[in-house]
Amino acid sequence: MSERKVLNKYIPPDFDPSLIPRRKQPKNAQQVVRLMAPFSMRCNTCGEYIYKGKKFNARKETVEGEDYYGIKIFRFYIKCTLCSAEITFKTDPKNTDYAAEHGASRNFEPWREEQAVEEEDRLAKLEEEESNPMKALENRTIDSKREMDILDALQDIRARNARNERVGQAVDLVASLGVEEIENEEDKERKRLDEEDEEEVRRVFSRVPAEDSGDSGKGFLTVKRKAEGDEPDVTSLLSESTKSLLADKPLSISRKRKADSKNSLGVKLVKKKAKPALAA
């Protein structure tokens, strides 16, 4: 597929570029360039706000009679987007920036004002030192003292940080040991409480031997006792008359059980008599 745009053009061998006539242009001709607004500005005619970076078709020309150490200064012409008023600004090689010239005012930028004030103070200080050597010596002494104070403060900060780091490590170690000790104390307290509970259970539920137990292997009874104290005796619960009656006629409790003809199901068993045999 052939190219849509041909970039190479044929030049005949007998071509002489010196024969081409030169166009006559004015000395300070303007050029149309495409650029973006280098700073935010406000139109003086209509008050329209033009933000930084807005694109314009501008006209560029070289400023006559102005330069900065041989560097040319250029002027740009743009139009307001609302009222089409002409706005001009030019380059500022000294501050590596642009400066508003006509038709618009640059928006307030605090950092630019601070930089300007600092630069003015620095220049005034240099002029004063050049005219007064004693003032220059005094300024150097003050600067060296300030540097020493800064170094001392920096050293103190470093020492404090190192001490805090060591203390922090020690505190972490002590805290970890304290946690282990607390865990051990909790385990000991829990174990002691468990042992007390078991001892209380053994004391309340004790096993005593039964007097009349048919099976020797199972001749123990589980007796429940009160937690506050021992159970009172049975005789202590009786009245005085009952106690005297028991003392005069002791009761004998028979341990024999009457044989019951009923089985465990409650059915009475009756033995049948045998019938006599018939004679042959």
Answer yes or no: is pLDDT of 86 > 70. yes
Q: Report the distance separating Cα 276 and Cα 45, nearest Å.
A: 154
For 242-252, what is the mean pLDDT?
A: 67
Answer yes or no: is pLDDT of 255 > 50. no
Cβ contacts of 109-118, under 8 Å, gap ≥ 24: none
Evaluate whether 42 touches 104 at the Cβ level (below 8 Å). Answer: yes
Give residue 73's pLDDT. Answer: 94
43 annotated as a binding-site residue: yes
Bridge-based pairing state of the strands 104-106 and 41-43: antiparallel
Answer yes or no: is pLDDT of 11 > 80. yes
Answer yes or no: is pLDDT of 240 > 60. yes
Answer yes or no: is pLDDT of 259 > 90. no
| End-to-end Cα spacing for the chain | 144
For 23-51, what is the mean pLDDT?
A: 89
Q: Find the angle CA(90)-CA(110)-CA(57) to the nearest 5 degrees.
A: 30
Give this prediction's pTM. 0.40
Give the residue carrying structure tokens 């190479």.
Answer: 8
Please report which confidence band the pLDDT of residue 269 belongs to, taking 50, 70 and 90 as the band edges. low
Average pLDDT, the chain: 77
Evaluate whether 18 touches 77 at the Cβ level (below 8 Å). Answer: no
Give residue 220's pLDDT. Answer: 52
254 annotated as a binding-site residue: no
Least confident of 10-14, 40-44, 106-110: 106-110
Least confident of 75-79, 97-101, 235-239: 235-239
Neighbour count for residue 144 (Cβ, 10 Å): 10
Give the containing element (helix H, strand E) for 253: none
80 annotated as a binding-site residue: yes
Q: Across-strand partners of 95?
A: none
